[in-house]
Amino acid sequence: MAARLGLVPILAPGPGEVPIAKRIAGLSEKRIVCLDDPPPSIAAVKALVRRAKLLLTNDTGPRHIAVAVGTPVVVLMGPTDPRHTQQHMERQRVLREDVDCSPCQLKTCPIDHRCMTRLSPERAIAAAQELIVESLPG
């Protein structure tokens, strides 16, 4: 999708996410920028989100920056209760699985993290493509 639309994915991993971000970047056939050394400042993340064509994130700070600056955003919501962070924004898609243990609000899952693992890449890509098409001029 990124190559077809002329986009360069940027990974901005949080604490503890650097190894998986580097693995993702290394597995890609296309260029992916990984901002991990040093991690970007909040000001830099804000500037990147403001200039982005689309943000794909979990329910974390960059999502709220995207809502504030009007960047289209796909949110992968797992253990977070969506009622606590509902934002009314036309250019936002919140993807979540309705599983019996969610929302638990736990940082570490005692079961199998099904609220996140059941979110398919295909579903995220479809939501991203929908938002990008909606954002095109004309």
For residue 88, pLDDT over 70 is answered with: no
More confident residue, 2 or 23: 23
**In which band, very low, low, confident or very high, does the pLDDT at 115 lie, cut at 50, 70 and 90?**
very high
More confident residue, 37 or 25: 25
pTM: 0.85
Residue 72 is predicted with a pLDDT of 93
8 A C-beta contact, residue 93 and residue 131: yes
Report the pLDDT averaged over residues 96-117. 91
CA angle 108, 75, 90 (to 5 degrees): 150
For residue 40, pLDDT over 90 is answered with: no
53-135 adopts what CATH topology?
Answer: Rossmann fold (3.40.50)
Residue 16 is predicted with a pLDDT of 85
Q: Please give the backbone phi and psi of residue 60, each rounded to the nearest 5 degrees, phi first.
A: -145, -175
Where in the chain are the domains? 1-39, 53-135
